[in-house]
A and B are shown apart, each in its own frame.
Chain A
Amino acid sequence: MPEPQPYIVGRESEVDEFAALLAGKRKHWLLNIYGPGGIGKTVVGGRMKAFAEAHGIPFTFVDGIDATLTPDRVLYAIQQGLAASEPIAETFSEFERAYTEYLIVQDVLQRGGGLQAMFDVVGSIKDPAGFAQILSSLGKSVTETTQRTVSNRFALERYLRGVERMLTSHLAEGLEIAHTEAGLSLAILLDTYEELEGMDDWVCSTLVPALPEGVKLVVLGRNALGRVNFDWQEYGEAVYSMELPELAEGDAKAYLAHYGLRDNVMLEQVYRFTGGYPLLLVLVRHLAREAGGWANIGALDHQANRDAIATQLLERILREEKVAEVRTFLEKGVVARWFDPEIIHVILGVDLAQARVLYDKLRRHSFVELHPNGLKFHDKIRELLEDRLKFTSASEHQKIRQSLISYYAEKAGLEQGVDGEPSVT
Chain B
Amino acid sequence: MVNPPSHDFLLEYLRLMLANQNNSIGLETWRTYFERARKSWDLPLAKELLRLIKNYPLPPHHESVVRHNEGLLFDDLGEWQAAHRTFEKALILKQMTGDRQGEMSIRNTIANLLRRSPRPLAEAISHYQAALNLARNLRDELGEAQILNGLGLAHYSEGRLVIAEQCFTSVRTFAQQHNDLGLEASALHNLGSVYWTQGRLAEAESNFGDALELLDDIHSRAETLNSLGVVQEARGRWKVATEVYSQSLAKMLSTGDIYGQAQILCNLGNVSWLQGQVANALEYHQQALVLAQDLGDAKLEGQILTGLGDTYRTVGDETASEAVLLQALERKQSAGDMRSLKHTWLSLGALYSHQHRPEDAKLAFEHALADARAQHDVRIEAVSLYNLGVLATALENLQDAYSYLETALQVAQTGGYRDCLSWIHETLGDLEVLQPEPDATRLLNYYTEACVYAAEFNPLILRNTLEHLSDFWTTYAEDGDVAGALWFLDSITSLWKQLGLSETHPVLITTFESLKQKIQQENS
Instruction: Report A's interface with B, CB cutoff 8 A.
Output: 121-123, 152-155, 158, 161-162, 198, 200-201, 226-231, 335-338, 340, 372-374, 401, 404-405, 407-409, 411-414, 422, 424-425
Contact = CB atoms under 8 A, between A and B. Distances in A.
Contact of B16 (A408, A411, A424): A408
Contacts of B1: 340, 373-374
Interface stretch (B2-10, B110-118, B225-233, B400-408): B2-10
B16 A122 contact: no
B246 A121 contact: yes
Nearest to A405: B16
Interface residues of B, number: 39
A198 B55 CA distance: 12
Interface in B10-61: 10, 12-13, 15-17, 20, 28-29, 32, 47, 50-51, 54-58
B162 to A, nearest CB: 37
B396 interface: no
A229 B9 contact: no
A408 B20 contact: no
Nearest to B287: A154
B10 A122 contact: no
Given A200-B51, A373-B4, A154 B16 contact: no
B290 interface: yes
Given A121-B246, A424-B28, A424-B29, A154 B291 contact: yes
B13 A405 contact: yes
**Which residue, B9, B55, B268, has most C-beta atoms of chain A within 10 A?**
B9
Contact of A412 (B7, B20, B246): B7
A230 B58 contact: yes
B9 A412 contact: yes
Interface of B: 1-2, 4, 6-10, 12-13, 15-17, 20, 28-29, 32, 47, 50-51, 54-58, 63, 246, 249-250, 253, 258, 261, 265, 268, 284, 287, 290-291, 294
Contacts, number: 90
Contacts of B250: 121
16 contacts: A152-B287, A153-B253, A154-B261, A198-B51, A201-B47, A201-B54, A227-B57, A228-B55, A230-B57, A335-B16, A336-B12, A374-B4, A404-B16, A407-B9, A409-B9, A412-B10
Contacts of A405: 13, 16-17
B404 to A, nearest CB: 39
Closest 8 pairs between A and B when the two form their complex, measured CB to CB: A408-B13, A412-B9, A411-B9, A412-B10, A373-B4, A229-B54, A154-B287, A408-B9
A123 B12 contact: no
The dominant DSSP class at the B interface is helix
A161 B262 CA distance: 15
B399 to A, nearest CB: 48
Contacts of A412: 6-7, 9-10, 13
A404 B16 CA distance: 8
Contacts of A201: 47, 50-51, 54
A155 B32 contact: no
Nearest to A397: B20
Contacts of A372: 4
Contact of A158 (B50, B249, B290): B290
A198 B291 CA distance: 28
Given A227-B55, A424-B28, A161 B9 contact: no
Contacts of B47: 201
B279 to A, nearest CB: 12
Given A122-B249, A231-B54, A158 B32 contact: no
Nearest to B256: A157
A333 to B, nearest CB: 13
Contacts of A198: 51
A230 B13 contact: no
A362 to B, nearest CB: 13
Contact of A414 (B8, B13, B15): B13
A401 B20 contact: yes
Contacts of B10: 408, 412, 414
